[in-house]
Amino acid sequence: MQYETLPDGGRIPVLGLGTWQMGGGGSADYSRDDEMVSIIEQAIEMGYTHIDTAEGYGKTHCEELVGSAMKAFPRGDLFITTKVSPDHLYYDDVHTAINGSLKRLGTDYVDLYLIHWPNDRIPQEETFRALNELAADGRVRRVGVSNYSVAQMQEAMELCKAPIATNQVRYNLLDRTPMQNGVLEFCRRNGIPLTAYTPIKGGVLDDPTVQKIAQNRGCTPSQVAIYWLIQQPGVITIPMSQNLKHLRDNINALKLDLSDEEIRRLDAIQS
pLDDT tens column, 82-133: 999 999 999 999 999 999 999 999 999 999 999 999 999 999 999 999 999 9
- Averaged pLDDT for residues 122-148: 98
Our CA angle for 35, 41, 44, nearest 5°, is: 140
Give residue 114's identity as a one-letter amino acid code. L
User: Residues 116, 137: contact at Cβ < 8 Å?
Assistant: no
- List strand residue ranges (DSSP E) for the chain, in order: 3-5, 11-13, 17-18, 50-52, 79-84, 112-115, 143-146, 164-170, 194-197, 235-237
Q: In the prediction, which pLDDT does 221 show?
A: 98
- Specify the amino acid at residue 242: Q
| 3-5 vs 11-13, strand pairing mode | antiparallel
Cα-to-chain-centroid distance, residue 53? 8
Which CATH number does the domain 3-201+234-257 belong to among 3.20.20.100, 3.40.50.2300, 3.30.70.920, 3.40.50.10300? 3.20.20.100
Report field, pTM of the whole predicted structure over 0.95: yes
Q: One of 48, 57, 113, 227 is an active-site residue; which one?
A: 57
CB 211 within 8 A of CB 221: yes
Is residue 174 within 8 Å of 271, Cβ to Cβ?
Answer: yes
Q: Which amino acid is at 54?
A: A
Query: 235 has which bridge partners?
Result: 194
Mean pLDDT of the chain: 97
Distance of CA 209 to the CA centre of its chain: 26
Say if residue 36's pLDDT is above 70. Answer: yes
CA distance 75 to 68: 12
Residue 112 and residue 120 in contact, taking contact as beta carbons nearer than 8 Å:
no
Average pLDDT of the segment spanning 19-45: 97
Strands (E) in 160-203, as ranges, are 164-170, 194-197
Give dist(CA 39, CA 45) in Å, integer. Answer: 10
17-18 vs 3-5, strand pairing mode:
unpaired
Q: What is the mean pLDDT of residues 59-75?
A: 98
Q: Do the Cβ atoms of 74 and 51 come closer than 8 Å?
A: no
Q: Mean pLDDT, to the nearest integer, of 131-137? A: 98
Confidence (pLDDT) at 271: 64
Residue 238 burial (C-beta neighbours within 10 Å; 0-12, 13-18, 19+)? buried
Question: How high is the pLDDT of residue 99?
Answer: 98
- Summarize pLDDT for 148-190 with one digit per residue, the tens: 999 999 999 999 999 999 999 999 999 999 999 999 999 999 9
Answer yes or no: 57 catalytic. Answer: yes
Q: What pLDDT is attached to residue 270?
A: 80
By percentage, how much of the chain surpasses pLDDT 70? Answer: 100
The sheet carrying 112-115 orders its strands as 17-18, 50-52, 79-84, 112-115, 143-146, 164-170, 194-197, 235-237
